[in-house]
Amino acid sequence: MPVRITDQLLNLVLSPALWLSVFLGLTVALLCYAWRGGGWRHLLADVAAGLAGFALGQAAALLLRLDWGQVGQVYVLAGMVGSLIALMARRLLWRRAQPL
């Protein structure tokens, strides 16, 4: 029996690993924003950097075959480290890009 595209999309959208990754990436981003502050632009940029960094950390751990800090299919430790690195880089680049 062939698998429909809608079934594949539902499997992706309802994936617990995806939602855990989104939750952890958002949590790190919001904690960074609460600590550093800023306006709405900083909040949106922090959320984007936190999610992108978590995804890059996940990809790096998957490619390097790291199995420590893993919960199910989610590399929690590597994702959080990636998220923190992306947030620090975003703050440094944002500060340099703004006029004095």
| Tens digit of pLDDT at every position of the chain (100 positions) | 677 888 788 777 888 999 999 999 999 999 999 998 878 888 999 999 999 999 999 999 999 999 888 999 999 999 999 999 999 999 898 776 666 5
> Rounded CA gap, 25 and 18, in Å?
11
- Regarding pTM above 0.85, the answer is no
- Beta-carbon count within 10 A of 55 CB: 17
- Beta-carbon count within 10 A of 20 CB: 16
Residues 33/42, Cβ–Cβ less than 8 Å: yes
CA 19 from chain centre, in angstroms, equals 11
5 belongs to a structural domain: no
22 belongs to a structural domain: yes
Specify the amino acid at residue 3. Answer: V
69 belongs to a structural domain: yes
> Rounded CA gap, 51 and 70, in Å?
17
Q: Which residue segment(s) compose the domain that 42 sits in?
A: 17-97
81 belongs to a structural domain: yes
23 belongs to a structural domain: yes
3 belongs to a structural domain: no
The count of domains in the chain is: 1
Give the start-end residues of each E strand in 1-100. Answer: 70-71, 74-75
78 belongs to a structural domain: yes
